[in-house]
Structure 1
Amino acid sequence: MIRRMQAADIPAGMVLKEAAGWNQTEQDWANLLALEPEGCWVEEHQGEVVASTTAVCYGRELAWIGMVLVRPDFRRRGLGRGLVEHGLAWLEQRGVRQVKLDATENGLPLYEKLGFHQEGTIERWGGAKPRGMCVYGVHELELGSIAALDREAVGVDRSRLLEKLIKAFPGQCAWEPKEGFVLGRPGSEAYFLGPCSASDAETAGFLILQLTLRAAAKVFYWDLFPDQPAAAETARQLGFERRRGLIRMALRPETSVSGRPERVFAAAGFEYG
């Protein structure tokens, strides 16, 4: 039975993500529920949550499918497909023009059957805390300015997401007015860096270095696009290495979202885009 996810289901969601070896925390689940309380679903079997999926909308321009998880002993029964189809039907009713997701190699055949097309790749890089001194002065956080930088880069309004991340993880931000920003948040396995938008690689590298030095973590994850070579080179210079890759997919490739991809130095996470 598919039903809406509730806050009480977060522990079950953690069991699902632990089985998959993902990096999300209980706070990440809470953020998704707060952003789209009607866009988070679970499959329940005999009173137990055995699968999940989420959909986050950025206006009617774009929606992001994420957290497609199935308990290992319930896989290959069509539960993941059923949840994604349920989500797509809900998004269709809302009139969302484009739907995207980041697919693993195992999930790729399913999403292609559902009409998604490969758009590119996204890579997760990892690294240890760089050595150095934090010399960047922390400015007062202004959501409006950060949201404007983000929208220019990605082409859609993600201010609700940014506000939620900033409030949930206070102080986890480095910002250069009019030039760029990076947000961060703790994960169950590593501290996650992103999203990050910047006018150039030097600014992005400086902001990310500043945030890593401030964060109380030793291991970091950074999701970037390999076809944005400045991002990969910046990560390499900071000591990061490629860990894994996923396939970015779009349901309607003819429906474009205009942005400035050369300014995107880190994605917001596989569950957010």
Structure 2
Amino acid sequence: MSIPLVIRNMLRPELDQLVDWAECEGWNPGLHDADAFWATDPQAYIAAELDGELIGGGAITSYGGEFGFMGFFIVRPAFRGRGLGNQLWHARRDRLLARLQPGATIGMDGVFDMQDYYARGGFVFSHRNLRYQLDIASAPEWTPDEDVVPLAEFPLADIEAYDRTCFPAPRSAFLRAWIDQPDALALGCRRDGRLAGFGVVRRCQHGCKIGPLFADDAGVAEALFTYLAGFAAGGPLFLDAPENNPEAMALVQRHGMSEVFGCARMYLGPFPDISHERIFGVTTFELG
């Protein structure tokens, strides 16, 4: 008789284990991702348990019931090919739908070879988010002609309002945890006395990663990128850039960045009405 798969909410230490698995998959999580992710939505992390052993997991983040995001979907290699991942994925989708308001959209960034599988689950392709890498030997010497300052100089309300133009729902808890995390740098760009863009770079298991990078235009994005890149001096820098923003593609090409990974952004439900032209770097593949 086969042992039934138990699907339940994760305990906080199990999220650390999920992050470790993500590192083994080559996803290069941030040093403090688990803390920020848990602070965003402790009910988002779903465990798959077989005979008392944790064999898989994933995130089903709800942003106030207005928007959901599926990510962090991992089944340990020894347990793949047995239909267990299929059970976990569908259970996560259905649980997230139950956590959202009727008609709310769910987003996800899925690896390309699973795109057809996710489409059978109701998700529709929007665009590709591509991970680029640049080795930063030293901090750039060029000083951009923009007023780039610590993001903390701006009221949180201004940051939340700007973020809302680039993300489908308010995410105050996430922003507070993300901006204040250790081993990271959060910067904003002031133009005409207002916030014209912001970005965060954080240390990861391997090098540093920028996310998000939101900006009014290419000039603001370039200024923020330059200062954020300096934080990664001495190691590789990664940026997950959306292919549907030509200016984001121009930025990575201008800096000679190399494409190393990518995901398909897909949605279940109506596509969000957001300012794609402001998104030069997505925040995370795990929480959106």
Q: Scaled by the length of structure 2, what TM-score is found? A: 0.86
- Return closer, same or farther for 1:14/1:262 CA change in 2, 3 Å cut-off: closer
- The correspondence for 2:105, drawn from 84, 94, 98, is 98
Stretch deviating more after TM superposition (120-129 or 46-55): 46-55
Kept in 1: contact 2:23–2:205 (CA 8 A): no
- Residues of 2 paired with 1:158 and 1:107: CA distance? 28
- Residues of 2 paired with 1:216 and 1:49: CA distance? 38
- Residues of 2 paired with 1:137 and 1:230: CA distance? 20
Q: CA deviation at 1:94?
A: 2.3
Kept in 2: contact 1:118–1:250 (CA 8 A): yes
Q: CA deviation at 1:224?
A: 1.0
- Residues of 1 paired with 2:60 and 2:239: CA distance? 22
Note the alpha carbon deviations across 1:49-73, whole angstroms, 9 max, x for none. 2111101222333111010001111
Partner residue, 1:40: 45
How many percent of aligned residue pairs carry the same amino acid? 27
Partner residue, 1:5: 10
- Residues of 2 paired with 1:20 and 1:44: CA distance? 20
Partner residue, 1:138: 149
Q: Please tell me the residue identity of whatever aligns with 2:228.
A: L
Partner residue, 1:194: 211
Partner residue, 1:219: 236
* SS of alignment partner, residue 126 of structure 2: strand
Q: Are 1:229 and 2:246 matched, yes or no?
A: yes
The equivalences for 1:237-256 within 5 A come to 237-252=254-269, 255-256=270-271
Kept in 2: contact 1:61–1:156 (CA 8 A): yes
- Residues of 2 paired with 1:50 and 1:95: CA distance? 26
Q: Please tell me the residue identity of whatever aligns with 1:260.
A: S
Partner residue, 2:278: 263
Q: Any stretches of 5+ residues in structure 2 without a counterpart?
A: 1-5
Q: Please tell me the residue identity of whatever aligns with 1:182.
A: G
Q: Are 1:151 and 2:164 matched, yes or no?
A: yes
* SS of alignment partner, residue 138 of structure 1: strand
Partner residue, 1:71: 76
Q: Please tell me the residue identity of whatever aligns with 2:259.
A: R
- Return closer, same or farther for 1:216/1:57 CA change in 2, 3 Å cut-off: farther
Q: Please tell me the residue identity of whatever aligns with 1:114.
A: G
Q: Any stretches of 5+ residues in structure 1 without a counterpart?
A: none
Q: CA deviation at 1:217?
A: 5.3
Note the alpha carbon deviations across 1:11-55, whole angstroms, 9 max, x for none. 422442133111114621232222121110111223322111101
Aligned residue pairs total 271
* SS of alignment partner, residue 168 of structure 1: coil
Q: Please tell me the residue identity of whatever aligns with 1:109.
A: D
* SS of alignment partner, residue 24 of structure 1: coil
Q: Are 1:88 and 2:105 matched, yes or no?
A: no
RMSD over aligned Cα atoms: 2.1
Partner residue, 1:204: 221
The equivalences for 1:160-171 within 5 A come to 160-169=173-182
Partner residue, 1:116: 123
Q: Please tell me the residue identity of whatever aligns with 1:214.
A: F
Q: CA deviation at 1:115?
A: 1.2
Q: CA deviation at 1:193?
A: 0.3
Larger % of strand: which? 2
Kept in 1: contact 2:148–2:223 (CA 8 A): no
